[in-house]
Structure 1
């Protein structure tokens, strides 16, 4: 499990990670960190949905322990695991 590598998209400008924001039952927006299983999936996502921001974004690797730290530090509600970057098909996990 510790050998699994995940890929995240991060802004070069302000260091923030790419998230999906979903409304919760309480009416407050919750942020879900978008996680990709392959680096080429993350790059495909950028090229398909944010081509004009491609030079401002970078793909980073993260282990499961690093993801746990990010969850705590940035107070994310969960992960959005991107299954298909072109559609996009995202599975949300709290």
Structure 2
């Protein structure tokens, strides 16, 4: 999985990446997982299925595996969420 190109969804408005947010308990801070897609058309399908009114406010970026760790550290993500099925969606979470 870390040897292939990843596709990310990024806001054209503020530059934020599309993430999955979770709270493990009410006292703890929110943690974020960067959502990544295996193909660019999967990312577009995800947007068109779950946010058709907002899809034009986002773009799909490709990211080589050599840059993934830097993005995770720079933005403070705890891991990635690999979207296996953009229509349902089925997401596999991986912490780093």
Q: Same fold (TM over 0.5)?
A: yes
Aligned partners of 2:24 and 2:34: how far apart in 1?
Answer: 15
Runs of 4 or more above 6 Å deviation: none
**Alpha carbons of 1:2 and 1:18: their partners in 2 closer, same or farther (altered >3 Å)?**
closer
Aligned partners of 1:34 and 1:3: how far apart in 2?
Answer: 17
Which position in structure 2 is the counterpart of 1:49?
50
Q: Deviations over 1:27-50 (max 9, x none)?
A: 321000000000110000000001
**Corresponding residue pairs, total:** 94
Task: Normalising by structure 1, report the TM-score.
Answer: 0.93
Which position in structure 1 is the counterpart of 2:94?
93
Structure 1, unaligned stretches of length 5 or more? none
Task: Normalising by structure 2, report the TM-score.
Answer: 0.91
Output aligned runs, 1:23-34, within 5 Å: 23-25=23-25, 27-34=28-35
